[in-house]
Chains A and B, each alone.
Chain A
Amino acid sequence: MPALPIPFLTHGRRLTAAAGVLALAACDGPQSTLTPAGVGAERIADLWWWMFGGAVVIWVVVIGLAVYATRFGTGRHDVRRARLLIIGAGAVFPTVVLTALLIWGLRLMPVLRPPTGDAAVRVEVEGLRWWWRVTYVTPDGRRIPLANEIRLPVGQMAAFTLTSPDVIHSFWIPSLGGKMDMIPGRVTELALEPTRTGVFRGACAEYCGTSHALMQFGVEVLEPAAFDDWLATQAAPAEAPASPEAARGRELFLAFGCGACHAVRGTPADGTIGPDLTHVGGRLTLGAGILPNDPAAFARWIGDTHEVKPDAEMPPFGMLPAADLRALALYLDGLT
C-alpha cells in the first residue's frame, strides 16, 4: 500500500483522489477478487461485474429522475402514472432483480462447492491464533506437514478440509475463490481450481483476536510438474546445515528447546505445537504472511516475536546474544 504523506489528510479533495487511486489499486494485485485466477473467483467476479454494471445503470436512472423532478418536472404529476412508477420501480423492479440475483447466486453454488471426490490435491488446513497448520495428504495417504503456505497445480481441483481448535477463523484466497469459515468442533470444506499460475495471498477473513490482521499466508499456483517437485521437496527431511555458522544455529535450535514446539524432520526436533519448520527457509513468507523470508526477518521474529505479532504463542528469545540469533536465522533460512 503506498504511504500517504500526512498533508494529504488535510485536503479533502486530494484525499478523495487518493482514495480513488487506492480503490483502483485494490482491484489488482495478489489478493483481489477482481483479477481472478481460479474457477470460483472467475464466476464470482462475473457476478460482481454484472452487479456493478446494473448498479451503475440504476444509479444513473435514479439520479436522472431526481434531477428531472427538482429541475424540470416541477409541476403537478399525474397521480396514476406516479403511482405506477412507485410500484413498478420501487417494488416490482427490485423484487425481480433480487430474485434474479438470488437464482444466479444459488446456481453458482454447485460451481463454488463442487464434489471433491476426484480432486487432484487434498489439503487439510487448521486455523490457529494466528497461523495456519497445513497438511497435504497424498493419494497414498502420506501426510506432509507444513505451515502458512498453499501451493497448487494449475488446472487441477484442490479439496480443502478446514478446522479450528480455538476460535472461528475464515480461510480466503480472494484470487482463487470464495471464503469458508473454520469453526471449532466442525469440519468445513472448500474446493479451489486455479486457472493461471502466479503468486497470490490468502488471509483470515473472520476477526479472531489481537493479531487477526497478521494472519495471512502465501499462495503460489504452479505448473503441475513444478508442483510435484515442490511437494516432493516438502515431503523430504530437512537439509543439513550448509555452513559452520548454520550448523551452530542447528545446535542452538536443539539446545534451547525450539524442538519442543517445532518439528524439523530429520532432527530430534519433533514438536507439534508450532509450525513445522522442515522447509521454512523455502516458504514465500515468514510469520504467516507478514515478513519477507530472509535471515534478518528470522532474527527479528525470534528476538522480537511479540513486537512483530502481538500475543503470539511463541515466547520471544530476544535474550539470546545477537550472534546466536544470527546463527539460528542462518540455519532456518537454509532449510529450503
Chain B
Amino acid sequence: MKWKRPLAWIAGAAVAAGIGGFVFAAAGFAPIAASSGHWAVTDWFLHFAMRRAVKTQSLGVAIPPDVSLDDRALVLRGAGHYESGCAPCHGTPTTQPSVVVRQMTPKPPHLPPHIPSWEPEHLFWIVKHGVKFTAMPAWPALHREDEVWAMVAFLRRLPDLSEAEYRALAAGDAGSGNRLRSHDDPIGAVVAESCARCHGAEGLGRGAGAFPKLAGQTEPYLLASLRAYAAGERHSGFMEPVAAMLDDAALQRLAAYYAAMPAGAAEATAAGDRALGERIATRGIPERGVPACVQCHGPKEAPRAAVYPSLAGQYADYITVQLDAFANGTRGGTPFAHIMRSIAERLEPAERGAVAAYYSALAP
C-alpha cells in the first residue's frame, strides 16, 4: 500500500514528539517563570484563543427579561463588590493594579479601557466562569447569576466613571466607615472595611433596594446567616468571601453590632399586589399548603423564634430574590432553610412579589 509508509512516519513523529515533550517537562525545562513573561506570539495566541472562546461559549447567554442593566440597585451591588473583589487586580478609573499584581503573567488588565470591547453577555461569561491559566477566578456561587449580572451592570458603567464617581458608588458610607474605624470597638474596622460599603454603617442598606437591611434583625439570625455564608451553606459571591475571612468571634461581634442598630422606616415603593401579599402573609394559602408568613416572620403577638428573620420593612427586591432562590431550590442558609424551600415553591412568581411588596411597606 502506498499510503501506509507516510502514515507510519507521521505516527512515529507524533510519538517521538510526545515522548520528547514529556522528557522536556520531566527534566524541569518548562518555562514557567512569571518573571520572563510570554513571547509576543504566545501572548497573541493565548489572547486570541481566550477572546474566541468567550465569544463562542457565551452564545447561550441572554440577559434575563427581569434584569435591567441600568438598574441602579444592580450597579450599586456590583460596585460594592468590585472594590473588594476586583479592584486589587484590575484597578479603579485612575489607579492601576498594585505593583505586586503587575508581576503576574499574564498581567491582569487595567479594566476600564477594555470593557467597551465586550458585550454584556461576554462579560457575564467571564465573570461567572473565570479564565483558566490566568488568575481570573470563577464566581464563588455559580448559580447566583443575579449577582453576576450585577457585576456586569457595574462593569458597563466603569469606563465612564471619574474616580470621585467610582468612590461614591463603591464606597457608600465611607465617611461613617472612617468614623467607625477610629471607634474604640475593634469591630469598627471590620464594619468599615467589609460591611458598611454595602449595608451601611447603620445597617440600613444604601437605598434602591440594593442591599438588605440588617438593622432590626436579631443577633441569632444575623449570626446564623453569617456562619452559613462563612461555611458555604448560604451562597453568594458577595457575602461568602467576606464572611469566610472572619473568625467566629468577629462574626459574633458583627451580628451583635448590627442587631443593636435601630430598624429604619418602611418604603412603600415596590410594585406588586400588596393586598394579595397581605392575604398570603396573614392567612397563607391553606389549600396549596402555604402557611401564613406571619407565624414565623411576624408581625404577630405570640413569641417568635429569634433565628427567623423579621421581614417588616425589608427591601422588596431582596425578599423577592430570596423567595425566588428558595423556590428554585438554590437558596442555602441556616439549618432552617429547608422549611422555606417547600413553601416558596408553592407560590407563583407574582405571589412572591406580592408578599415582598406587602412586607416592604410594613413598619419594622
**Which secondary structure dominates where chain B touches chain A?**
loop
**Which secondary structure dominates where chain A touches chain B?**
loop
Q: Mark A153-181, 1 if CB is under 8 A from B, else 0.
A: 00000000000010000000000000000
Q: Mark A264-280, 1 if CB is under 8 A from B, else 0.
A: 00011001110000000
Closest B-chain residue to A271, C-beta based? Answer: B291
B292 touches A260 (CB 8 A): yes
Closest B-chain residue to A258, C-beta based? Answer: B295
8 A Cβ contacts from B271-300 to A: 284, 286-287, 289-292, 295-296, 300
Residues in B with CB closer than 8 Å to A261 are 291
B289 touches A260 (CB 8 A): no
A257 touches B295 (CB 8 A): yes
Closest B-chain residue to A267, C-beta based? Answer: B302
B302 touches A259 (CB 8 A): yes
B289 touches A268 (CB 8 A): no
Closest B-chain residue to A257, C-beta based? Answer: B296
B336 touches A313 (CB 8 A): no
**A255 in contact (CB, < 8 A):** yes
Residues in A with CB closer than 8 Å to B102 are none
**B304 in contact (CB, < 8 A):** yes
Residues in A with CB closer than 8 Å to B296 are 256-257, 260
Closest B-chain residue to A256, C-beta based? Answer: B305
Alpha-carbon gap, A149 to B46, bound state (A): 72
**B339 in contact (CB, < 8 A):** yes
Closest A-chain residue to B291, C-beta based? Answer: A260
8 A Cβ contacts from B300-319 to A: 300-305, 308
B335 touches A259 (CB 8 A): no
A273 touches B286 (CB 8 A): yes
Most A CB contacts (10 A, CB to CB) among B295, B303, B338 go to B295
Q: Mark B128-158, 1 if CB is under 8 A from A, else 0.
A: 0000000000000000000000000000000
Most A CB contacts (10 A, CB to CB) among B291, B304, B308, B338 go to B291
Residues in B with CB closer than 8 Å to A223 are none
Residues in A with CB closer than 8 Å to B286 are 271-273
Residues in A with CB closer than 8 Å to B300 are 268
**B58 in contact (CB, < 8 A):** no
**A29 in contact (CB, < 8 A):** no
Closest A-chain residue to B303, C-beta based? Answer: A255
Closest B-chain residue to A254, C-beta based? Answer: B302
8 A Cβ contacts from A32-52 to B: none
Residues in B with CB closer than 8 Å to A252 are 305
B303 touches A251 (CB 8 A): yes
Residues in B with CB closer than 8 Å to A271 are 284, 286, 291-292, 295
A273 touches B339 (CB 8 A): no
B295 touches A259 (CB 8 A): yes
A267 smallest CB distance to B (angstroms)? 8
Given known contacts A268-B300, A271-B292, A319-B336, is B305 in contact with A165 (CB within 8 Å)?
no
Most B CB contacts (10 A, CB to CB) among A254, A256, A260, A315 go to A260
A269 smallest CB distance to B (angstroms)? 8
**B342 in contact (CB, < 8 A):** yes
Residues in B with CB closer than 8 Å to A273 are 284, 286, 289-291
Alpha-carbon gap, A271 to B336, bound state (A): 19
Alpha-carbon gap, A272 to B304, bound state (A): 19
Residues in A with CB closer than 8 Å to B284 are 260, 271, 273
Closest A-chain residue to B285, C-beta based? Answer: A273
Residues in B with CB closer than 8 Å to A260 are 284, 291-292, 295-296
Residues in B with CB closer than 8 Å to A254 are 302-303
B298 smallest CB distance to A (angstroms)? 10
Alpha-carbon gap, A272 to B295, bound state (A): 13
Closest A-chain residue to B335, C-beta based? Answer: A319
Closest A-chain residue to B340, C-beta based? Answer: A315
B304 touches A165 (CB 8 A): no
Given known contacts A256-B296, A273-B284, is B291 in contact with A315 (CB within 8 Å)?
no
B302 touches A313 (CB 8 A): no
Closest B-chain residue to A313, C-beta based? Answer: B289
B286 smallest CB distance to A (angstroms)? 5
Alpha-carbon gap, A316 to B341, bound state (A): 12
Residues in B with CB closer than 8 Å to A316 are 338
Alpha-carbon gap, A268 to B301, bound state (A): 8
Alpha-carbon gap, A316 to B292, bound state (A): 18
8 A Cβ contacts from A288-336 to B: 313, 315-316, 319
B358 smallest CB distance to A (angstroms)? 16
Given A252-B305, A260-B295, A271-B286, 5 extra CB contacts under 8 A: A251-B303, A260-B296, A271-B284, A273-B286, A273-B290
Q: Provide a sorted-by-A list of 6 A–B residue pairs whose CB atoms are within 8 angstroms.
A: A252-B305, A255-B302, A256-B308, A260-B292, A268-B301, A273-B289
Q: Identify the 6 closest CB pairs spanning chains A and B, nearest first.
A: A260-B291, A260-B295, A319-B335, A257-B296, A255-B303, A268-B302
